Amino acid sequence: MTTPQKRIPRDETTSAAETPPAESRRLFEPRSLERRDVLVAGAIGALCAVVYTFTACRTFHVGDSPELAAAAAVFGIPHPPGYPTFTLVTGLLMKLVRGDRAFAANVVAAVYASAAVTAFWLLARRIGASRVGASVGAVALAFGATFWSQGVAIEVYGFDVLLAMLVAHAALAAAGPWRATLVTGIALGLWMGHRPLNVVYAPTMLGIAWAVGGLDRRRAIPLGAGALVALLPYVLLPLRSRTQPAIDIGDPETLDRFFTVVRGAPYVRHWTEGTFDQGVGRLERHLLALPKELGLAALLGVVGAFSWLRSDERPRRVGGRVLAWTLGANVAVCIGYHVLDIEVFFLPSTWVLALFATVGTDSALAWLDDEGKRRWLAPLAITTSVALLLVNFRENDLRRHDLARRNAEDTLEAAAPGALLLVHGDTNIHALWYLQAVEGRRPDVVVLSPGHIHPWYVEQLKRRYPAEPWPPYPGAGTDQALYTRMVRDAFAARHKVMATRSVPVEAYLSPIGGGKAYGALPHGLLMELLPFGTSLDVRSRADFTLQYFERAMKRVLPRMATLDPDTAALYLEYALALNQNGDMFSRGTRRDVADRLYRWVLDLRPDELEAVVRADVKAGFGQEIPEQRFEAHARDGLAMLAGHPPPTPAPSMSAKASVP
């Protein structure tokens, strides 16, 4: 007779699928968090949230900010890869904030960034850093120039870092029950789905899961299933596109257009446009900027990386290699990707270096055998990280930065009723989209972006403006400038055709076949495209121009002292418009108008602005753009009005004139 076995209660059993890996397979044991850890991390995150919200832009900023805010506000589809998870989450959180929708989006950006810092601090503790080390790295990351900028104006990169931190936390717990592996897969899928480029950095997260014993054949199915489930938000793109949202970039209703959007096809060209030397130059500039990005923590990050990679302990050595993958892969990406705003693309290597700094701080403290030295080094390291708050405050204080909105409002004010408005440049296009889609401003103005002209965009324009005389689209591959001129000729009979200052207007002036050639005359902040021989009433035009710029310059002046290149470029649009309008009226009977316009140019101090833009282009692309010398032009104009004409006098213009 066999001895009966003791019956084990069901709640004390563990299924085979939930059995944790054997200790022999676990290379690294994450540290358990204490209540005090959560409190410290929460306090640092709360501090960041206060600082970010205080310095946040009160409306939309430059670049992609207005487009992303508008897409989230209307639950639309922004630029590729469409960002469905980001747009959905941001749109829902924006509903919790009252007031300007763009400011609400910026508050959400502050939440993303501060939550990322909180998660970073906890991650540092789980991989073995002390509270001092975790604080040094977290505060340095939080108040670094680039990361801080992601918390004051809506962008996708703060959300990206937050997802990366959540994936790392999930990977550290992947050795638990199969549900933990499923969660890791979901987090990994959301992160890679948010920005497909994150596939390059995924080996780091998989390496973390492997190091804790959470990556083996048995767990491949829940890990893969979770990653696939996390990609489901992309199903929203074609479904939402079919409802014709106000922001619908790429129109991903068909399978072909869907994959064009998801894989970011329009941006593939950035991998082939530049040279290797330009890529190395971008890396050099990033390294020189590290004192503003991480302060002393950058040096401590090198110490931490060296101490882990050269450690006698295998877990640390492997951990160092796992993190170093993202560091190296990110550097390679940034060398090969040819764009001006490259600093945000360095954020993965920035947070990895900050994570190394957390253990580097501990290594530096351990190296000091004198307890007294340790006592002063710890607060010194934290103080230098906090010092970044002062160093980068002015650059990231966007409370008064509203020029993108002012410029867009002035653009719509200058547009004639029912005008066809040609627009170029991210800030100009996105700001107008925001005002029309979110605030319902000037729906009569047909905004046309020549750079977006593809079959999907033409079809979208025809659906949105069915009463307009859109010419047939010749087909895929049609020259964008040619179709723009076709639209110009079709609209010119019933509408005024205008263009923003950022548009290379010369490309749209030539005739089609035996048609009319066009000239361009300044009209407020815009250029008006008119057929040669069109009669103009210069007196009424002068009255409009003076009143228009009196209103505009009250909002624009005095200009801000600290400027990014995009904001500087917007100011230069005003300087160019003022000079060109001044030139037009300086030759006729309204010389008083010209005098006022030239003086406004000098008030803008555009030479400083031009230097910012030219330096940015040279640093990013290695190209020298022609110098405009706005102030010299305005002074020459004033001298001519005072009776001291320049060596080559300009021809006179009568009160009644025609386009030359």
Percent of residues, the chain, with pLDDT higher than 70: 92
Between 602 and 311, name the one with better pLDDT: 602
- Please check the confidence at residue 401 and state whether its pLDDT lies above 70: yes
Segment 204-232, tens digit of pLDDT: 999 999 888 878 888 888 888 888 988 89
Mean per-residue pLDDT for 119-128?
A: 96
Q: Lowest-confidence range among 348-352, 382-386, 494-498?
A: 382-386
Return the DSSP state at 77.
B
**Pairing assessment for the beta strands 420-422 and 446-448 based on DSSP bridges:** parallel
For 34, the 3-state DSSP assignment is: coil
The answer, yes or no, to whether the previous bond of 196 is cis (omega within 30 of 0) is no
Q: What angle do CA 403, 409, 415 make, to 5 degrees?
A: 135
Residue-wise pLDDT for 158-209, tens only, equals: 999 999 999 999 999 988 888 888 999 999 999 999 999 999 999 999 999 9
- Domains of the chain, by residue range, sit at 27-243+259-396, 402-532, 537-660
User: Does 13 have pLDDT greater than 70?
Assistant: no
Tokens representing residue 359 in the block:
């253990």
Per-residue confidence band for 103, with pLDDT thresholds at 50, 70 and 90: very high
Report helix, strand or coil for 168. helix
What's the DSSP call for residue 506? G
**pLDDT score at 14:** 41
Q: Could you tell me if 147 and 168 are in contact, meaning their C-beta atoms sit under 8 angstroms apart?
A: no
Q: What angle do CA 526, 532, 535 make, to 5 degrees?
A: 80
Residue 325 has pLDDT above 50, yes or no: yes
- Please report the pLDDT score of residue 644 as a whole number: 66
Supply the pLDDT for residue 406.
96
* pLDDT tens per residue, range 301-320: 999 999 999 988 888 888 99
Q: Are 374 and 368 in contact (CB under 8 A)?
A: yes
Give the pLDDT confidence score for residue 645 in this predicted structure.
Answer: 64
Mean pLDDT within 582-591: 85
Q: How far apart are CA 253 and CA 628, in angstroms?
A: 44
Beta strands in 132-227, from DSSP E residues, in sequence order: none
Report the distance separating Cα 567 and Cα 65, nearest Å: 13
CA 431, 437, 439, 443 torsion: positive or negative? positive
Please compute the mean of the pLDDT values over residues 254-279 and round it to a whole number.
90
Q: Are 148 and 142 in contact (CB under 8 A)?
A: yes
Q: According to DSSP H, which parts of 465-514 are helical?
A: 480-492
Q: Is the pLDDT of residue 653 over 80?
A: no
- Give me the percent of the chain exceeding a pLDDT of 90: 67
What's the pLDDT at 534?
A: 81
Location of structure tokens 């959301």: 190
Q: How far is CA 513 from the centre of its chain?
A: 41
H/E stretch holding 203 reads helix 202-211
Report residue 659's pLDDT band, with 50, 70 and 90 as the boundaries. very low
- Could you give phi then psi for residue 645, rounded to 5 degrees? -65, 150
Q: Please give the pLDDT value at position 570.
A: 94
Between 121 and 311, the more confident residue is 121
Q: What are phi and psi of 530, to 5 degrees?
A: -130, 140
pLDDT band at residue 10 using 50, 70 and 90 as cut-offs? very low
Looking at residue 179, its pLDDT comes to 87
Question: What is the pLDDT confidence band of residue 559, given thresholds at 50, 70 and 90?
Answer: confident
Q: Mean pLDDT highest for which of 73-87, 335-349, 381-395, 633-647?
A: 73-87
Mean pLDDT, to the nearest integer, of 231-253? Answer: 94
- How much is the pLDDT for 378? 67
For residue 21, name the pLDDT band (cuts at 50, 70, 90). very low
Please give the average per-residue pLDDT across 481-499, as a whole number.
Answer: 94
Q: What is the mean pLDDT of residues 361-369?
A: 80
Reported as a single tens digit per residue, the pLDDT across 504-521 is 999 999 999 888 899 999
Q: Out of 180-194, 462-476, 608-622, which region has the weakest mean confidence (pLDDT)?
A: 608-622
Instruction: Tell me how far apart the alpha carbons of residues 112 and 49 are, in angstroms, rounded to a whole number.
Output: 9
Q: Check whether 17 has a pLDDT greater than 50.
A: no
Banded pLDDT at 465 (limits 50, 70, 90) = very high
- Round to whole Å and give the CA distance between 657 and 522: 14
**Contact at 8 Å (CB) between 79 and 249?**
yes
Confidence grade of residue 371 (pLDDT, cut at 50, 70, 90): low
620-630: pLDDT as tens digits: 777 788 888 99
Give the burial string for 613-650 (b: 16+ CB within 10 Å, else e).
bbebeebbbeeeeeebebbebbebbbebbeeeeeeeee
Mean pLDDT along residues 633-657? 64
CA distance 168 to 22: 21
Question: CB within 8 A of 603, min separation 6: which ones?
Answer: 553, 557, 558
Alpha helices in 493-629 (DSSP H): 538-556, 565-585, 591-604, 606-621
From residue 33, give the alpha-carbon distance in Å to each of 137, 169, 170, 408, 653. Answer: 18, 12, 14, 49, 78
The whole-chain average pLDDT of the chain stands at 89
Please, which pLDDT band fits residue 33 given cuts at 50, 70 and 90?
Answer: very high
Q: Is the pLDDT of residue 8 over 60?
A: no
* Strands across the sheet containing 420-422: 446-448, 420-422, 497-499, 526-531, 518-523
